[in-house]
Every structure is written in structure tokens, then in C-alpha cells.
Amino acid sequence: MNNPGSYEYRQVPQDVDAERAVLGAIFFDVKSDNAMVEANAIIESDDFYRQANQTIFKAMQQLIDEQRPIDMLTLQDKLNSMQQLDNVGGMAYLAEISESSASSANLKHYANIVREKAILRRMIDTLTRSMSLAYDASEPSEDILDALNRNLDGLAENRGDDDFQKIKDVLQEFQANLDNAVENDNDVVGLATGYPELDKLTHGFREDQMVVLGARPAVGKTAFVLNIAKNVAKSEQVPVVVFSLEMGAVDLVTRLVAAEGAIDSNHLTTGKMTQEDWQSLTLAMQSLANMQIYLDDTPGIKINQISAKLRKLEKDIVNDMTSDQRINNPHPIGMVIIDYLGLIESNNKESRQQAVSEVSRSIKKLAKELHTPILALAQLSRGVEQRTDKRPVLSDLRESGSIEQDADIVAFLYRDDYYRNDGGEDEGSNDPRDEEEAVPIEIILEKNRAGARGTATLMFNKPTFKFSPMAPLFRDDPNAGSNGSAGW
């Protein structure tokens, strides 16, 4: 294998003619401030390869800031005041720029060339530094990869050249969305979860949304999102990705099979299956095998690894699509679930709160990039245990500030039986979660950026991990179902 130095003879990406064309277009534009505004929207001084061109561009920027015209005399004066006239090549080089035939009409074209070459140079610099670190072997490979991914992500984020969108164009998209909603005649405009009462509040989970679901341990949040995963994968016929940082893939599948087949999970674990269980198992496995559910149980996974895996999966799925399918659906992943947010490792070593903030922001950015809702689970602080009313509120989220800010929807799971123990509020030695098989569970929407706050009540069958809409019989009779007999 060649060493990094073997590539040093190659010419770095550059185009000094395009650089001179940019400067010439600004120099000779009747309204130099307009030309400078257009240039500044695309490039900055560091994007120029030649140092002289960087300096001249900075001088032009300062003239505009001082509301002075840009001509040969003012530019000469400004460079003199910066003590840079000789360094840029003197009046001879300014004259060379003045002879450029570039016009302001082509400014954007030349500026894009300058920026593209600058991005390529930065990419080479980033990769070269990573190669040197790899050859030195003085740092763990994981740290080198993390730094490389962060730098490349930064380059990708900074290369966007999207202009402002005119409201006329956005109104067309708005009209199309409205027409679809009218045509569907349905409260759900996003992905239906399979629970109408919840979908009525959220209108379905939509692309770009970051949804945070919080609960105390063992309330049932993992079971709930797995139910949503299979419901979405089955009814919407879209790929659903589940990252589980706490539970292994086989355990996840056990819960999915139990919920899909309404089979007691203890029977699946111990092998003490009834004839009815075997029949249900066959149907459940056939149903799940036809769903596009992708599982990843990598422990201690980092947010940049999650991003990389999702981008690769999206690319793989797109490659298997027809050309028409790619045009109609360039972002095919339907939903992403992360269980749970607090276990994702961050590159930020300063504090736990800053690490969570970095992860939260990254999840929101990833949802927008992939055009898919991301449902992230979160633990609640013990503060909820100290209150008489133990229904969670936003402040119960651990490191809640950034999560609450980034999330489009924040929902909490609450089960009354979780805290009830012979009428007492202490959790005691007897686990109240084992007393009833089927219990009501509240899905409390404390934040809903695109809709109303509210509560949806479902039924949770603990042995099968199955969530179901609450039947009218149970809803009408608050005393029904205490033994799991009503509402089913």
C-alpha cells in the first residue's frame, strides 16, 4: 500500500481563472454591492485557492461594508491601507483582473466553480489528516473514524446551495398537500400507528418529525413502539428500522411474535406451547416475515454510526427500486425507532447534558435529511415518583431542555397499575405490574407542534406485549377490565 505522500505530486483542485472571473464580475458590475451579495451567498474568502484572490475579495467586502464603490482607485487605496497591495501583485495584477471578460450575469456560475474546488480541497485535507493518524496508529481507530465522520458531515452540510424559496412555490406544495388531505377525507395525513385515538391527535407521524416517547422503566414503552413498528410496516407497506441499544434482536423478535400472534411471551420463552399457540405462531411468523422491519442491536452505538447505517440502508433500498419508484419515492425508509435516546453515545465529552443535546439535534437533522419520522424513546427522572399525580410532564425528561426543544411531539406512557399496590403509593416488594394481564395505558401528548395536546387511552396486554384500541365496553365502565375480562 502506498503511503499518503505518494499522492503529493498531484495538482490540488483549483481554478484560478474562475477566481479571477468572480473578482472581475464584481469589479465591473455597475452595482457592485448586488454582485457582492450574490457572491457572498455562495462563497467566502477562504474558498479562493490563490492567496492574492482571497485578499482582494476581503478588500472588496470591506469596501461594500463601508458603502464605497469598487473601482481601481478605491481597491488600490483599500489594499494599501491593509498593507497588502504588493503582496497581491500590485497594480499589475489588479489590471489583469480588470481585463477579465466575465460579466455579472455569469457570476453565480463562476462562484459555484470556486466553491466546488474549495470543497474538494477540504475533503482531501480531511482525508489526508485521517490517513496520517491511521498510519501513526497513536489513536484508537474508533476515534479516528468519529473525527472523520464529523468532518465529512460538516463538509456535506456546508455545501448546500439552495436559494430562498419563493412563497409562490411553497404555496403550490401547500395546495398539493391540502388537495391530498381533502381527497383522503381522513384525519390521518402521515403514517397511521394503528391506534385511531392516537392518530386523531397526531394526524399520523409525518416525515421530518422527531417524536420522543418517555416513560419510567418497565411501563411498556419498548413494547409500544414495537407494536407501532409492525402496524406501520404491515399497513403502510414501508421499511421500518429499529435500533435497540438495550435489548437484543432475538428478544425484540420474541415480543413482535407475541404481539402479532397474541401469544403469551412466557410460552415462547419456556417452550410450554399449547396447540393454539403453535397455530398462532405459524401465522405470526409468516406475517412478520413479509414485513420490511430492519433490526440493529449494536450496543453503545454512536449517533454518527446510526446516521451512516441509515444512509447506507436508504441507498441499498433505492438501488433495488425501479426508476419510476426512485422518482416517486427517493427516501423510502418509512419510520425509524431508537430505543433509547439516553444510551446513544456522543462524541461530545464535556458533559452529559451537552452530549444529549448533540444527539437530540442530530436525530432531528437526520429526520429532515431522510424525510422520515424518527421515534426516540427516553427515560424519565425519578422526580415523577415523588408527586401525588404521577402522570409525567415535560420537566420529567432527563436532560429535557434540548430534547423538548428539538422534538415535534413529546408523549408519555402512564399506567395507573404501575404505581398502585394495595392502595399504597410505595412500590413495595410485590410488583403491581404482575397483578393484571390487561390494563389501560394512557398515551399523554404533552407537546404536539402540529396538533393539539391530549390523551389517548389504549389497552396493554402484558403477557403478549400487545397494544389494542380500547373497546367501548371498557371505556364506558371504569370498573370493567380489572381482571382483564372486559374490553377484549
Judge if 151 and 241 occupy the same domain.
no
Q: How far, in Å, CA of 34 to CA of 12, rounded?
A: 31
Residue 472 lies in a domain: yes
Judge if 393 and 317 occupy the same domain.
yes
Judge if 81 and 210 occupy the same domain.
no
Measured at the CA of 26, the angle between CA 24 and CA 29, to 5 degrees, comes to 100
DSSP 8-state class, residue 54: H
CATH code where residue 210 lies: 3.40.50.300
Q: How far, in Å, CA of 232 to CA of 263, rounded?
A: 20
Judge if 303 and 340 occupy the same domain.
yes
Domain stops at, among 158, 176, 207? 158
Residue 167 lies in a domain: no
Judge if 153 and 200 occupy the same domain.
no
The whole-number pLDDT of residue 481 equals 42
Residue 376 lies in a domain: yes
Judge if 274 and 145 occupy the same domain.
no
Identify whether the C-beta of residue 375 lies closer than 8 Å to the C-beta of residue 242: no
Q: Assign 87 to helix, strand or coil.
A: coil
Q: How far, in Å, CA of 121 to CA of 115, rounded?
A: 10
Q: Assign 390 to helix, strand or coil.
A: coil
Judge if 125 and 199 occupy the same domain.
no
Residue with cell 479516528: 144
- What's the total number of domains in the chain? 2
Q: Assign 191 to helix, strand or coil.
A: strand
Residue 166 lies in a domain: no
Residue 370 lies in a domain: yes
Residue 316 lies in a domain: yes
The whole-number pLDDT of residue 480 equals 46
Mean pLDDT per block of 10 residues along the chain (488 residues) reads: 55 90 82 76 90 93 87 90 92 84 77 91 88 85 78 68 71 81 78 93 92 91 95 94 93 94 92 93 95 92 86 90 84 92 72 79 90 92 81 79 86 87 39 67 92 91 92 53 37
- Residue range of the domain that includes 417: 187-476
Judge if 152 and 203 occupy the same domain.
no
Q: How far, in Å, CA of 289 to CA of 133, rounded?
A: 44
Judge if 191 and 96 occupy the same domain.
no
Q: How far, in Å, CA of 215 to CA of 13, rounded?
A: 52
The whole-number pLDDT of residue 488 equals 32
Judge if 105 and 234 occupy the same domain.
no
User: Amino acid letter at 64?
Assistant: I
User: Amino acid letter at 365?
Assistant: K
Residue 100 lies in a domain: yes
C-alpha cell at position 481? 377490565
What is the pairing mode between strands 293-296 and 240-244?
Answer: parallel
Residue 466 lies in a domain: yes
CATH code where residue 99 lies: 1.10.860.10
**Phi, then psi, of 242 in degrees rounded to 5:** -120, 120
Identify whether the C-beta of residue 237 lies closer than 8 Å to the C-beta of residue 191: no
Q: How many residues does the chain have?
A: 488
Judge if 142 and 210 occupy the same domain.
no
Produce one character per residue of 249-284: b if its CB has 16 or more CB atoms within 10 Å, e if not: eeebbbbbbbbbbbbbbebbeeeeeeeebeebbeeb
Identify whether the C-beta of residue 398 lies closer than 8 Å to the C-beta of residue 378: yes
Judge if 102 and 205 occupy the same domain.
no
Identify whether the C-beta of residue 170 lies closer than 8 Å to the C-beta of residue 211: no
Q: How far, in Å, CA of 185 to CA of 180, rounded?
A: 9
